[in-house]
């Protein structure tokens, strides 16, 4: 997520704590934006303290920032996003398998980025703030 615009730049779904899916999402975000950010903030989850995650960030010249233990407010935008994903979608949906959930999440994130205005963004959508004037193209789950 880009903190300034709240735009979700990439996401992945996994039912394990293996960090490879996070590194894959990170690389997709770099590719989608054409650049790496100056700083990247996460919590201290095992995916984000893994050697692969840290090396990917540092290899791209990104400064690594991690929240202190119990400091959910340091990453409040992400915490709020996951709360919204769960309460507006996941807890309400019933899917037979992970693939169906992934398709539903792709739709939810597309709507979040392109059709849900945010009061904190002067009632613009995250994508309008992230890429003003650009026609949105959102990758659906396969």
Residue among 84, 73, 77 nearest 111 (CA): 84
Q: What is the pLDDT of residues 74-119, one digit of tens each?
A: 678 888 898 999 998 888 888 899 999 999 999 999 999 998 888 9
- Domain segments of the chain as ranges: 20-130
Burial of 36 (0-12, 13-18, 19+ CB in 10 A): middle
The answer to whether the pTM exceeds 0.85 is no
User: Which CATH superfamily does the domain covering 20-130 fall into?
Assistant: Ribonuclease H-like superfamily/Ribonuclease H (3.30.420.10)
Q: What is the pLDDT of residues 17-48, one digit of tens each?
A: 888 999 999 999 999 888 889 999 888 888 99
């Amino acid at each position: 997520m880009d903190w300034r615009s709240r735009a979700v730049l990439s996401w992945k779904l996994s039912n394990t704590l293996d960090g490879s899916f996070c590194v894959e999402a990170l690389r997709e975000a770099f590719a989608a934006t054409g650049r790496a950010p100056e700083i990247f903030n996460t919590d201290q989850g095992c995916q984000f303290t893994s050697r692969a995650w840290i090396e990917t960030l540092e290899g791209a010249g990104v400064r690594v920032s991690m929240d202190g233990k119990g400091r959910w407010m340091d990453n409040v935008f992400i915490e709020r996003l996951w709360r919204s994903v769960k309460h507006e979608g996941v807890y309400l949906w019933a899917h037979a398998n992970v693939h169906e959930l992934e398709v539903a999440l792709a739709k939810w994130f597309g709507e979040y980025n392109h059709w849900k205005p945010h009061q904190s963004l002067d009632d613009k959508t995250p994508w309008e703030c992230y890429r003003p004037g650009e026609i949105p193209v959102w990758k659906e789950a396969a």
